[in-house]
Chain A
Amino acid sequence: MYVAARGGEGAIQNAEALYNDLKAPIDADVVRAIERTMPYLIDRVMGEGSLYAPELAALALAQTGGDLYEAVLILRAYRSTQPRLAYAEPVTTKMLFTVRRISAAFKDIPGGQVLGPTLDYSHRIFQLDVLDGKAAATATFTPDTPDAPEPVQPVAPREYPLVADWHRMAGLMAPLEKHADQDPSDVPDVTREPLLFPAPRAERLQSLSRADTGGILALGYANMRGYGAVHPTINELRLGYAEVQVRHPISGDLISLGRVRVSQAEIVTHFANSATGVFGANKEKRQNHKEELALGFAATMGWNEIKVIAAAMLDKAMDLPAPHPAHTEEFVLYHTDPVEASGFCIHYKLPHYVTFASGMDAMRGANQIAGDEGKSVSEQPEAELVAEAQE
């Protein structure tokens, strides 16, 4: 095969080789160690990569030297080539094998607050003994094997009720709408269809689920700090294992494919009807209707509490009739995709000399006209003018 140009090709191959030379080599043991010792990092990569594959996520991290965005891209690029073989059965919150569920709305909740695994109340100090080679703080709990070594009595319940169900029973929240059983292949899929606005709720939640944790946090935090009319309370935050089941294509039997770690958050706001303006200018309806609590929701693969809390708040914020410009659906969903945002950011490293030259031409032309007329083109600094002309 005839290969056209070689100049740049040698350079990029050498650059990649140098990158790899500057970090320790990787092998199967390294990958396995990353998978076992950094489950929360693995979860973040899997969630943003939207592919539940702990081993591949660990390999992606090892290959990229821990560059999160590069690791997510490897996972996404692999995922995008995989065919849809089957649709899993729906998983409801109640079905989760829940290891942590807390509500900030009440002191105690039906089923009880379950603290579960968390660093929330740990003292953030170094375990310097580890560096000294002394016995490390060893873990007895391995996330992959949720069966506790010594069962306690009474045994934790298999299922926990939903806090939101209590609101509904108490008449504080609208009852859930009944949906006819939907063919899973009819659920809109953000990886197979372009996102258009207003987005179907499924696409919104899918986008939030695979969004960049940092991006969601930044926009969510802006909302929490006051750029928005949502005043949220965490109604229920859950970490758990979801059993993934599919029907056998011939026998129709339900088959378990295993468990995946998932997290989900529900935030609740008061005066939902006023806040979301569901009745608009219809004063009569507004007066006759009682105020209700409303939920914002987000879920993701892996245990990533920060992301689901911030995303659930954004979910609610996006529903406002006039959200802050940074909290409209289009703004949030377009700007929080890790692959797109990081890719575009680094693309500025590519040569832009043709567009730059075109802008320079326009600027020189404008300056010449101004010079001919004996005055400066504008008070504007040149750099700004070039940027504008380049657009």
Chain B
Amino acid sequence: MTLEQLALENHGYSYAFLDEFAKRELRRRILKAIALPGYQVPYASRELPIARGWGTGGLQVTLSLVGPEDVVKVIDQGADDSVNAANLRRFITRVSDAASTTDATQATIIQSRHRIPEERLHEGQVLVLQVPDPEPMRSVEHDISRAREMHADADYGLLWLALYEQLVRYRRVTQGASYPVMVHKRYVMSPSPIPRWDTPKLHQAAHLTLLAAGREKRLYAVPPYTDVYPLEFTDVPFKVEDQRGWVCIRTGAQNKFMNEIPNEDGTSTHEMSDTGYIEKLLNAQPGDTYYDNNGNFYIRGYIRS
């Protein structure tokens, strides 16, 4: 009997890369996050073979959920073929043997950086949003311990004040992406740097949204059918990006979130940011979208402006 015979075969890495202890921790924290909508749950956050700040939070959540039966869609800024999305998809499918798709309605898990698909997600789907900074109050309170206390007290006065200051200075709210939202009437949450166009899609959504920051070691959730409202003053309603009149050069579509592509003559061309939706418009019958072709949000009256 030699030592070699006694030793177990070298298995390299675990299924879906993370070891079972890490997965168990993540799943427990995810359950806690679902139980406390919008509350930032601290977690250990393991290092992954992808650079920190490149979606390692979302990736840990995806890896803790994915199984060989899953169908995964990965997008970055709405695009499936963006280099970072391609890289994450390559990693997830390589370590989990899950299938991949560009069709938002076919995916069981959608990992996304900075976009929510245009087509309405349905029950049973999980949207995993990558989060650079989970703290909606970072700009008004950089001390994390203090911000945690303010969340505990639901003390969001400074955040309202910041919006008010924008209004006074620029005559409108100048917050771009990452527009802060109130979740389940309790916690103010950063929806990750999705454009304001995507923010309403979180409200009373049929799907589960998990948001995870790897570097900052926080994850949080919006369970299905949860109230999510942008912070807005009664007399100054929340506004999505004004892209009226922008026409997608590839599909002719309007009233979907567009990329603005500069031309040499100083003008711009527009193209839909959601490449999976472009593909469907060109090749198949797309499903229902959050905004109709006239730009009306599917829950009437939610967007007041």
Contact = CB atoms under 8 A, between A and B. Distances in A.
Interface of A: 1-9, 11-12, 73-74, 76-77, 79-83, 191-198, 330, 334, 339-340, 342-347, 350-355, 357-366, 369-370, 373, 377-378, 385, 388-391
Contacts of A347: 51-54, 132
Nearest to B80: A5
A265 B180 CA distance: 45
Kindly list the 3 A-B residue pairs having the minimum CB-CB distance in the complex, ordered from nearest.
Answer: A343-B52, A8-B86, A347-B53
B170 A358 contact: no
A354 B117 CA distance: 13
Given A1-B99, A194-B43, A354 B78 contact: yes
B76 A350 contact: yes
18 contacts: A5-B86, A8-B81, A8-B82, A8-B86, A77-B47, A79-B47, A81-B46, A83-B21, A194-B217, A347-B132, A354-B115, A354-B194, A355-B195, A361-B176, A362-B175, A366-B174, A378-B170, A389-B174
Contacts of B218: 194
Contacts of A366: 170-172, 174
Given A344-B215, A359-B176, A369-B172, A5 B85 contact: yes
B169 A378 contact: yes
B76 to A, nearest CB: 7
Contacts of B145: 196-198, 330
Interface string B196-223: 1100000000000000000101100000
B176 A344 contact: no
A199 to B, nearest CB: 10
B6 to A, nearest CB: 15
Given A361-B176, A365-B172, A377-B170, A7 B47 contact: no
B93 A194 contact: no
B85 A77 contact: no
B303 interface: no
B227 interface: no
Contacts of B35: none
A298 B143 CA distance: 24
Given A81-B17, A391-B178, A2 B99 contact: yes
Nearest to A194: B42
B119 interface: no
Interface of B: 13-14, 17-19, 21-22, 25, 42-49, 51-54, 56, 73-74, 76-78, 80-87, 89-90, 93, 97, 99-102, 113-115, 132, 139, 143-145, 169-178, 193-197, 215, 217-218, 239, 241-243, 257-260, 273, 275
A5 B42 contact: no
Given A8-B85, A74-B49, A344-B52, A351 B77 contact: yes
Given A330-B144, A354-B114, A385 B52 contact: no
Contacts of A1: 93, 97, 99-100
Contact of B86 (A9, A192, A193, A344): A9
A12 B145 CA distance: 40
A369 B242 contact: no
Contacts of A340: 52-53, 215
Contacts of B44: 191-194
A358 B196 contact: yes
A5 B259 contact: no
Given A194-B44, A352-B77, A378-B169, 17 more contacts: A8-B83, A73-B49, A196-B42, A340-B215, A343-B56, A350-B84, A354-B195, A357-B241, A358-B197, A359-B177, A362-B175, A365-B242, A366-B171, A369-B171, A370-B171, A390-B176, A391-B178
A4 B101 contact: yes
A346, A347, A360, A385, most chain B CB atoms within 10 A: A347
Given A347-B53, A347-B54, A4 B89 contact: yes
A3, A362, A364, A366, most chain B CB atoms within 10 A: A362
B14 A194 contact: no
B197 to A, nearest CB: 8
A340 B53 CA distance: 7
A378 to B, nearest CB: 7
Given A2-B100, A73-B51, A80-B46, A358 B176 contact: yes
A266 B42 CA distance: 32
Contacts of A76: 47
A140 to B, nearest CB: 35
Contact of B273 (A197, A339, A354): A354
Contact of A354 (B90, B101, B193): B193
Contacts of B194: 354
A73 B176 contact: no
B62 to A, nearest CB: 15
A198 B215 CA distance: 19
Contacts of B170: 366, 369-370, 377-378
Contacts of A4: 73-74, 80, 89, 100-102
A66 to B, nearest CB: 17
Contacts of B260: 357, 360
Given A73-B51, A193-B44, A351-B82, A389 B217 contact: no
Contacts of B144: 197, 330, 334
A288 to B, nearest CB: 33
Nearest to A75: B47
B139, B173, B175, most chain A CB atoms within 10 A: B175
A361 B241 contact: yes
Given A194-B44, A354-B78, A385 B86 contact: no
A354 to B, nearest CB: 5
A355 B76 CA distance: 12
B171 A361 contact: no
Contacts of B275: 5
A56 to B, nearest CB: 14
A82 B13 CA distance: 9
B76 A351 contact: yes
A5, A6, A194, A385, most chain B CB atoms within 10 A: A5
B58 to A, nearest CB: 13
Given A4-B80, A5-B89, A343 B42 contact: no
Contacts of A80: 22, 46-48
